[in-house]
Structure 1
Amino acid sequence: MESVSISKVYNEDSLPEYTPLSLSLKEIRAAIPARLFVRSTWRGLAYTMRDLSMAALLWYAATYIDPTTRSPYVRAILSSPGAEVLRWTLWAIYWWFQGLTFTGLWVIGHECGHGAFSSSRTISDVIGYTLHTALWTPYFSWRISHHRHHSNHASMEKDEVYVPKTRADLGIPKEGKEPIDYEEYLGDTPIYTLFMLIRQQLFAFPAYLLFNVSGQKTYPKWTNHFDPNSILFNPSQRGVIIASNIGIMFMAWIVTLASSIYGTANVAKYYGIPWLAVSHWFIMITYLHHTDPQLPHFRKGEWSFQRGAACTVDRDFLGWQGRFFLHDVAHYHVVHHFFPQMPFYHGAEATQYLKELIGEHYVYSKAPVYKTLWENYNFCQFVEDEGDIVFYKNKQGHAVRRPAAAYRAKTTKYY
């Protein structure tokens, strides 16, 4: 299914209707060969070593950028301004590919968190803890909340992240006889919107970990991933939360020590900027997975695990680079939500079986991802306060879909 566009004359009654998935999880699993659920520790380790080797090679190659571009020979050929352009071009290439490589390592840590890396929980946790800690992610803390996200995806009441704001959250009055000036509540200049989008891309993940930004709105103030007593965790998980915190503190010590030895600028160039790229790619991927005008969110009895799992999008993310460096995390995310313990290297084949079974409920987009990021960020503003199946509305209060008649309340418009 491709994205649906809104007609120039908006008419809610003419919107395409959505009927929720009716298949059971057992039926869906039975449609996928059992061999695709088998986890290979050695194969997982091979991908890990491949990524670590690429990161080391890129790091080593980067050590030649400054000495080479600052050499008298190069400056004599290119001139000083030309050599500086070459220097920063080479650093930009390093940051792009090292950022992708680091993100691939983060994805392997994510696989470990789901138990998809190996049938051994110990091996998964050791690898995942090491990789995620090295990339400033509290492994056990995030693993726990991320598991709850998977268990409750697209539930307005229980999902952990990317929970839509409602009309009431934004203080927008309900539709009535008098037209609403949505511009008063949602109108932003393109420059301000761009600033907010860049802020999201660089800092949304740390903000979620530290302050529960974009998380479940019913949680208490100051909910975060570092408090062992947080509502995110139960008392039996206190020890692993502390272990996650110790890992992050160790990383802080390592970075501080490296900065004192090699200089803050060098640490930023070799490690800091690629890490910012990880945050960018991770947020961009997950945001586009879960935020789209054609994806519903559910309340109360209309939610089920399989309905929520189907409400995500597979995207052609960066083409071959997304497949190679990011381990298909964006290309085959729908099947991952149904079966998070399935290894990523079986995602392509498993998706074919899933797509054939669930038909129109499988959502795929080949649209350019940066264009889609801008469009979805501008479109997906809020959902209605009422209704058990709701869709995002834009800055004019328009949606692109509505629930089928059997799922619409007779006395309440919520589409």
Structure 2
Amino acid sequence: MTVSTVKPENLEFDAPASALRLKDILKTLPKECFQKNSRKAWSAALFSVAVVALGYWGLAVAPWFLLPVLWIFTGTALTGFFVIGHDCGHRSFAKRRWVNDLVGHLFMMPLIYPFHSWRILHNFHHTHTNKLDIDNAWQPFQTEYYDSLPRSLQNGYEGLRGRFWWVGSIVHWAGIHFTLAEFQPKDHSKVKLSVAVVLIFAAIAFPTLILTTGIWGFVKFWLMPWLVYHFWMSTFTLVHHTAPDIAFYPEEQWNAADSQLSGTVHCNYPGWVESLCHDINVHVPHHISTAIPSYNLRMAYQSLQQNWGNRLYKECNFSWALMKEITDQCHLYHPEACYRSFTDYRQGQ
């Protein structure tokens, strides 16, 4: 794919990193990156519906020993449902707001994810990415706060920062998306609507599924794919902004452009995962501008590589070694070393 670019030398930008502004980056991106294409948007939505339907058909007819493979496939395809809703939440799916809201609710409804609740809290993450004590996505605890917690909560935090990272999305989903106290009064009506939508869906779908297929049918057709979906949600979100040398900054030291450009990780996943999840792993341009639809993320990333490659965080490949590095080291905030592991912290006490 060929994209028009503005060479960095033409920007005459030799200022220190703290002076970098998002608009300096945005003006180097091709205008095509921001253009909505209804054919591509609806094709992606229909593709997700088709592959999810294929997954459920497979679960219905396959022998028991193929179920784990089909759970992985179907749960990954359901993550594509979330990405469609993700575009809707950023108003990059359709030009009309009501279409974005309707499609967003429909695609996030089977995931029991309240659309407006997620949209509002997720936009907050984009506004405060990697801002210490404020960002609401995977920011590390400071040692003082960690020490103030009862041992049970310390154990829980250690698990979510360790080998049980894949549960983190479920905790995040259940902990804040159904509670009005997390939202400003002006947003309460929208949050109530989205919560009502998923609760009504669950109240109809779950008993129907259990009555027609039994408890095992509920586990087989909904719970297991849903857990795989949350595995990817936890993994994508953690990897997007976590590495031993990616810092969270106090508000007085924080710079939006630096955090969005250099504090966001591009991770390569197997091609079938990237296809089913609509390139959500191409995450750096999404943090430069949420107006870029998912089908234009690769075009935008190519431009960022050409124009801002010296500021991009190094790419990585999804692997057990990557997850082990993150879950072994990225535990507690450290003002100089970015992170401190639980082991190092206890040894230093």
Q: TM-score, normalised by structure 2?
A: 0.85
Deviation at 1:198, TM superposition (A): 5.0
Contact 2:36–2:92 at 8 Å: present in 1 too? yes
Task: Give the structure 2 partner of residue 392 of structure 1.
Answer: 339
1:337-356 equivalent positions in 2, closer than 5 A: 337-356=287-306
Q: What's the secondary structure of 1:112's corresponding residue?
A: helix
* Paired residue type of 1:49: L
Query: After superposition, what is the alpha-carbon deviation per residue over 1:89-148, rounded to whole angstroms, capped at 9, x for unaligned?
Result: x11221111111111111111111111111221111111111112111111001100000
Question: Corresponding residue for 1:155?
Answer: 131
2:220 to 265, 269, 275: 269
SS of equivalent to 2:248: strand
Aligned to 2:185: 235
TM-score (normalizing by structure 1):
0.72
| Contact 1:315-1:364 within 8 A present in 2 as well | no
Change (3 A) 1:61 1:397: closer
Aligned pairs (5 A) from 1:356-395: 356-384=306-334, 391-395=338-342
Between the aligned partners of 1:251 and 1:197, the Cα distance in structure 2 is 33
- Aligned twin of 1:137: 113
Secondary structure of the structure 2 residue equivalent to 1:63: helix
Find the partner of 1:118 among 82, 94, 116: 94
Which of 29, 37, 47 aligns to 2:44? It is 47
2:278 corresponds to 1:314 = no
Question: More helix by proportion, 1 or 2?
Answer: 2
Structure 2 CA distance for aligned equivalents of residues 378 and 163 of structure 1? 16
Specify the alignment match of 2:11 in structure 1.
none
1:334 is aligned to: 284
Distance 1:235 1:170, change over 3 A: closer
User: Are the aligned partners of 2:248 and 2:338 in contact in 1 as well (CA < 8 Å)?
Assistant: yes
Match runs of 1:215-226 below 5 Å = 224-226=176-178
Does structure 2 conserve the Cα–Cα contact (< 8 Å) formed by 1:316 and 1:367?
yes
The 8 Å contact of residues 297 and 390 in structure 1, kept in 2 or not, is answered as no
SS state at 1:281 partner: helix
Alignment match of 1:305 (pick from 256, 273, 298): 256
Q: Structure 1's 206 and 43: CA in aligned 2 closer, same or farther, altered over 3 A?
A: same
Secondary structure, aligned partner of 1:383? strand
Q: CA deviation at 1:196?
A: 7.2
Q: Is the 8 A contact 1:95 1:274 kept in 2?
A: yes
Residue 247 (structure 1) aligns with: 197
Q: 1:252 to 1:33 in 2, by over 3 A?
A: same
In 2: Cα distance, 1:46 partner to 1:292 partner: 34
Contact 1:298 1:390 in 2 (8 A): no
CA distance in 2, matches of 1:374, 1:380: 10
Provide the C-alpha distance between the structure 1 equivalents of 2:343 and 2:196, rounded to a whole number of angstroms.
Answer: 47
What corresponds to 1:37 in structure 2?
A: 34
The 3-state SS of whatever aligns with 1:107 is: helix
Deviation at 1:292, TM superposition (A): 0.9
CA shift digits 1:246-280 (9 cap, x unpaired): 11211321112221222121122122211110001
| Identity across matched positions, percent | 22
- Max radius of gyration: which structure? 1
| 3-state SS in 1 of match to 2:309 | helix
Contact 2:285 2:301 in 1 (8 A): yes
Judged with a 3 Å threshold, the aligned counterparts in structure 2 of structure 1 residues 197 and 380 are, in CA distance, closer, same or farther, namely: closer
Give the direction of change, closer, same or farther, for the CA distance of 1:51–1:367 in structure 2 (3 Å limit). Answer: closer
Q: Over aligned residue pairs, what C-alpha RMSD do you find?
A: 2.4
1:395 Cα deviation from its structure 2 partner = 4.4
Contact 1:21 1:361 in 2 (8 A): no
Task: Name the residue aligned to 1:28.
Answer: 25
Paired amino acid for 2:230: S
Q: 1:303 and 1:119, CA in 2 relative to 1: closer, same or farther beyond 3 A?
A: same
For residues 162-201 of structure 1, the aligned pairs below 5 Å read 162-171=138-147, 197=162, 199-201=164-166
Aligned partner of residue 143 in structure 2, secondary structure: coil
Q: Aligned residues, how many?
A: 322
Counterpart Cα distance in 2 of 1:150 and 1:283:
17
Q: Structure 1 residue 356: deviation in Å?
A: 2.6
What is aligned with 1:210?
Answer: 174
Note the C-alpha offset of 1:396. Answer: 5.7
> What stretches of structure 1 of length at least 5 have no aligned partner?
1-18, 67-86, 173-187, 212-223, 399-415
Q: Distance in 1 between matches of 2:213 and 2:284?
A: 43
Structure 1 runs of 4+ with >4 Å offset = 193-198, 395-398
- The code of the aligned residue for 2:170 comes to P
Aligned partner letter, 1:316: N
Instruction: Give the aligned partner of residue 71 of structure 2.
Output: 95
Closer/same/farther in 2, CA of residues 133 and 277 from structure 1, 3 Å limit: same
